[in-house]
Each structure stands twice: as structure tokens, then as C-alpha cells.
Amino acid sequence: MAFDKKHFTGGETEGGITSSYATDDGVKLKVPYSFMGSIYDDAERDAAFAAMQQDTLTMGPKTQEFQNKFAKAHGVKHAFACSNCTTGMHVATQVFDIKKGDEVIVTPNTFWATSLVILKEGGIPVYADIDPRTFNIDPAEVAKKITAKTKAIYVVHYAGLMVDMDPIMELAARHGLKVLEDCAHATGAAYKGRMAGSIGDIGAFSFHSLKNITTCGEGGMLTTNNDAYTHAIQNLRCMNNNHSWGENGASAWQFGDKIHCKKESARDYWMPAHFDVQSWNGHWGNNYRMNEVQAAVGCAQVDKLDMLSAKRREIGHKITAGLQDVKGIETVYEPEGYHHVFHLYTVCVNEQELGGSRDEFMRVLYQEEGIQTILHYQPSYHFSALRKLGYDQNQCPIANDFFYKRETNLPMHPRLSDADVNAMIEGIRNAAAKVRKRHCKA
């Protein structure tokens, strides 16, 4: 589908297409694509203002409260707030000790960040194709890609529907692999009674503006049930900041050529130096902290999570029901035992049944019916950087077909009204009929 940048007003900001899909092309929209995925009201405003009055504005009491609430909501022992999902996944990659030459199996149907964090540590992303119904990584395809160099599997719960995790975890146990759950789309999602981020070794969540809950536009969270990971995560997200005491309670620090130590039963608050720095398994941490205003807003958002998920599910199920009999249009598949939280609503076009292409359908839906849809995600190996590295451009044919011929994503957020939902259903039905009619005449 051609994309005319001169009509894309979001491109005038530094965020570009990651912050807006607004256009100035003259199309009158009934339902535009929104970049705010949640609902804010007095709860978030009051929480943010109260946090601004604190003496501590980063990694303080509200961050701890947010972590505790999030862990409880997702059935995990530990949760660690961070600056965004990408930085969280980078920390997880370091915790897994991914190094140069290590292979990590990953889905091609994901935002670039899932591959980026592997490459940053010198690892090699290895792509396994997707299931054509769920659009998630296919465990059978994962099994084919495991080699002696494989060290981890990174799954992505696309659109808010969790990956079939049992076979993934069975593969990981059999081959001694780590599992990262990229839960950027899946806050509040569940699989066979288990929450997103509670099954793999580490889960990583996003609170970007688009996501099901958002902490002022950016933010992330790591989850784990592994006690052994807590020290590594805490240090790697905060520049290897190690608050440690020497042997037998001695505080120690060094300057010049002297070591200064002091043993006391009552430690002076200024001793030792306020932090120490150590690498972790040869990996260096970074400043991936969350601030207190974001965390305070996150607390208010977690309090609304059940309501926000229920609204998304109601909207998603209504769209599914309204499109059941539209020839050439495929609705979202939700397997039994899964709790889909509809971060995205992905409509698929069956070009053979419709009689026209996906791009033609999108064009009619947008220009004539006023419904703005978008595409997620171009297979990661099609980006210029990976093409230059020699990645096979046809290695995942289902993912290729999905992005270039089948899928488009409807506006989806909990503020959609019944009128908005009905307009989308009617618009899709009309657009499909128009495409079929034009090709019948031809």
C-alpha cells in the first residue's frame, strides 16, 4: 500500500509514525486510529499531582507500590518497573547472558525492539514462522529452528492473545533454553488460567501510549518468579548500582591508592559511598528507571485494568459478531481457554474470496467509508539492517503473506462508542461489497 509522507502530519514530530497516524489528505474520518490506548480521568490526574509533591521523583515509594500492584495482578512474585518495554527486554537479554554468536528464536511478527535487544548483545535472531490463525509464533516452527547455538526463545503475545505456551515451555525444558515473554500487547491477558508474564523465565510489558494501560506515554515492567534473577534485574536497570557492605559489616571505598574501611555496630548514613558499580556476567547496566509520576499513574491504571480489559473484550466480540457473514473478511480467532485482551483487532482479508487485494480494501475503507486502519508488523528480517546481514527474505512465508496480503488493524481502544463500533462494522461490510462489485463488473 502506497504511503504518502507529505500527508502524514505525525511525520513532522520526532515521534513520527510511532506517535500519530494523523493526516491532512482531506479524507473525512468517521473513526480515526487513536494513539491513546487507555482512559485517564481524575484518578490519574490526582495521582500524578500528588507524586509531584514528593521529595523523591524517581524510583521511590510509588514505583514500589506500582510494582507490587502489577505483580499481584499478574500472579508473579516479582515485578520491576523500567523506562519502557525495549529497555526491559534488553535487561532480560543481559540476565539470560546472551552473548556474541548465541542464537535466539523469535517471531518475525513483532515490533523491531524484540530483535534489537538480541542484536545489541551480539546475539543472532533466528525467525520462526507464525500460526495463520493466531498470528503468534508457531511452536512447531520453533522446534525446527533449535540448534546447538540456541540459547533462548522470545515469544510475543500478538494483539493481546497469548502464545500457546505449554509446548514452548516443553521445548525450553528439553533443550535447556530461557524463555522471554514479550507482553507489550498483553497486559491482563491469560492462557489456561495463567497470566501473561508468569509462565516464561521473564516477562516484559509496555506502557506506551498505544497500550492497554499507559504511564504517561512511556514505561515498562519486567516480571519473574525466579528469585535468582532479582539482583541482576535491579542492578542492570540501574547502571550496576550495587549497595553492598564489606565482609563482617565493614564499609569500604577506594580513592587514590588507599582503601578506607570502618567497622561499626551503628553505621553512619554516609558510609559507604552511596553506591558501588560492578558488572554482571560481563554485562553493563544502564539508566532504565521509571519516575514517580509515571508510577503513580501506573497505580491508577492497574486499578482500572479489569474494567479496561472488559471494555476491549466487549468491543472486540461485538466486531467479531458483526462481521461473521462478510465474504472475504476473517475475524479474530480466540481459542478456548485463552483470555484475549484485544490490544489490536486484526481483520484479515482473503483476497481470493473477496475478489480484490487487501490494499484495495483498505483504500476503499479509508477513503470512502472513513475508517482508518494500520498495518502491524512488517517481518523483522525485511528491514534494511537485516537484509544487509544476509537474512533470507522468504524464510517465513506465512508471516510474509500475513503482512503484505492479509492483515489490517482497526481502531481499538476502550473509549470507542457503540456508534464508533457500528460505523466500523458497517464500513467494513460496505468496503468489502464495493470491492467485490467492482471486480465482478471487470
Q: Per residue in 123-142, pLDDT tens?
A: 999 999 999 999 999 999 99
What pLDDT, in 10s, does the model give residues 164-216?
999 999 999 999 999 999 999 999 999 999 999 999 999 999 999 999 999 99
Place of cell 497516524: 21
Contact (Cβ atoms closer than 8 angstroms) between residue 277 and residue 242: yes
Q: Which amino acid is at 160?
A: G
Q: Which CATH class is domain 5-36+305-441?
A: alpha beta
CA distance 12 to 22: 11
Would you report the helix, strand and coil content of the chain in percent, each value rounded to 5?
40, 20, 45
Q: Which CATH number fits domain 42-240+282-302: 3.40.190.10, 3.40.640.10, 3.40.1480.10, 2.40.50.140?
A: 3.40.640.10
Distance (Å, rounded) from C-alpha 430 to C-alpha 240? 57
pTM: 0.93
Model confidence at 12: pLDDT above 80? no
In the prediction, which pLDDT does 258 show? 55
Mean pLDDT of the chain: 92
Please give the pLDDT value at position 264: 52
pLDDT at 3 over 50: no
Given pLDDT bands bounded at 50, 70 and 90, which one contains residue 251? very low
Residue 249 has pLDDT above 60, yes or no: no
The predicted pLDDT at position 368 comes to 98
49 contact partners, CB below 8 Å, separation of at least 6: none
Task: Please tell me the distance from the alpha carbon of residue 187 to that of residue 171, in angstroms, as a whole number.
Answer: 25
Query: Could you report the per-residue pLDDT of 262-307, keeping only the tens digit for each?
Result: 555 556 777 766 677 888 999 999 999 999 999 999 999 999 999 9
Q: b or e along 396-434 (b: 16 or more beta carbons within 10 Å of the residue's beta carbon)?
A: bebbbebbbebbbbbbbbbebeeebbebbbebbbebbeb
Residue 22 has pLDDT above 60, yes or no: yes
Domain ranges within the chain, ordered by starting residue = 5-36+305-441, 42-240+282-302, 241-277
Q: What is the mean pLDDT of residues 85-95?
A: 98
Contact call for residues 202 and 97 (beta carbons, < 8 A): no
Please state the rounded mean pLDDT for residues 313-317: 98
Q: pLDDT value at position 259?
A: 54
Residues 6+ apart with CB under 8 A from 268: 262
